[in-house]
Amino acid sequence: MTTAPDDTHPPAGPVNGADAKPDESACPAAPRLAPLQSWELVGFIALVVLLLSVPVYLVRSAHTVRPTGKRAAARYVGSEKCRPCHVKAWTAWRDSHHAQSMAAATDATVLGDFNGAVFEGDGIRARFYKKGRMFCVETEGPDGRPTEYEIRYTFGFYPLQQYLVPFPGGRFQCLSVAWDSKDRKWFFLYPGQRIPPGDWLHWTRQAANWNSMCAECHSTGLRKRYDPASETYTTTWTDINVGCETCHGPGSHHVEWAAQPPMARPAVENFDLTVRTGGLTNRELVELCAFCHSRRASLGDYDPTAKLLDNAWRRSTSTAPSPRARCTTTTSAAPTATTCTAFGGAWRGTHSACSATGATPTTRRRTTSTSRKSMAGRAPAPFANGATCQAASTWSTTGAWTTACECPALT
């Protein structure tokens, strides 16, 4: 008996091997792209994106408000802004004497003995103690009477630490009894001398005034802000101590530059820092540090971008004129109009070695000077001893000029 084939069960047949035939009724498979074709597609898409970005950029630029005029001057931002990117340098600085040049008086910063310690000597007596968290001293005041004062700040760290006392008018005065950090004892800054109240060197007088005599080299971004009308100070700082920007200058431009993604940072000089501190010559290094590490007198608030002699004038203990200064004489009995620069404004004394009857002022002009003194039509006061100019001249009753020297530093 023959059985008819079942349409639901196709006859068995070979599925592999040479006898296998493709199922012609099935849908054809989609053709696979070759590897090269895939890269070509990616490249095409990238090209489209690139072409579209040009008009998008142009449209965006046209609607962007850009600052006009000169770029704003860099601002002080504080040493904490440097920490995230410069951890190693910041940590080394934090433990340095620069970082401890000035601080609020606390148990962590005060090194001196304030457990009722008493110093006596050279006609003064000072007792150091605490009231709660406040550090105090009882010592001679401006009227000579024992007076209690609060100590607000520490000043310095090693080898000595001094202490600042607030006074009326925004002033801070520096005690003349200091703490010896090495031998751990109190000592007087002028041993063997009696400094009475009213003396310029007394701790309540100008020689020990923090605002004008000390502050600019112990804090960063300091502005004295003295008001001559009221004779008061409103002194400010950006960092209480000697911070990063004391040497590097105001850092806002650098911080803005560093905040951008590395690939987006524009090519700028010196990483957009205000002051260059690397690859310096000997002279440049002196210029960088000498404002605080030299014997000089300040001309005003410190400008880290200015030359040393635009910030200060050199002070000297020498009474002799500069070996390079030379005298000149003239037969003219009347003075000629001359302009000369004097750094500091202190005018006193003459150099006898330069005296020559009939001499005319011959000091050279310096157009970039910070301050000038005109000598036209009047007898000029002599320059300060040790200032940049070593010249001096006086008008005698006989109608002749005497004492004239050139200033080779200004040539």
pLDDT, position 22: 52
For residue 329, CA distances in Å to 130, 351, 361 come to: 67, 15, 9
The predicted structure's pLDDT at residue 281? 92
Helices within 63-86 (DSSP H only) = none
Do 343 and 370 meet the contact criterion of CB atoms below 8 Å apart? yes
Cα(195)–Cα(205) distance, integer angstroms: 11
Please confirm whether the linkage preceding 159 is cis (ω < 30° from 0). yes
Residue 208: helix, strand or coil by DSSP? helix
Angstrom distance (rounded) from CA 246 to CA 101: 12
The predicted structure's pLDDT at residue 300: 80
- Tell me which H or E stretch contains 6: none
Q: Which stretches in the chain have pLDDT values below 70?
A: 1-37, 39, 56-69, 313-411
Alpha-carbon distance of 58 to 54, in angstroms, equals 6
* pLDDT for the residue numbered 370: 28
Helix spans in 205-281 (H): 210-213, 244-248, 252-258
- Tokens for 293, please give them: 């590490």
Residue 84: exposure state from Cβ atoms within 10 A (0-12, 13-18, ≥19): exposed
Gap between the Cα atoms of 247 and 270, Å rounded: 14
Identify the bridge partners of residue 172 per DSSP, sorted by sequence position.
Answer: 166
For the chain, the C-alpha Rg in angstroms (whole number) is 39
pLDDT of residue 384: 35
How does DSSP assign 349-364, residue by residue?
Answer: ---GGG--TT----PP
Tokens of 66: 């850009």
d(C-alpha 361, C-alpha 403), whole Å:
8
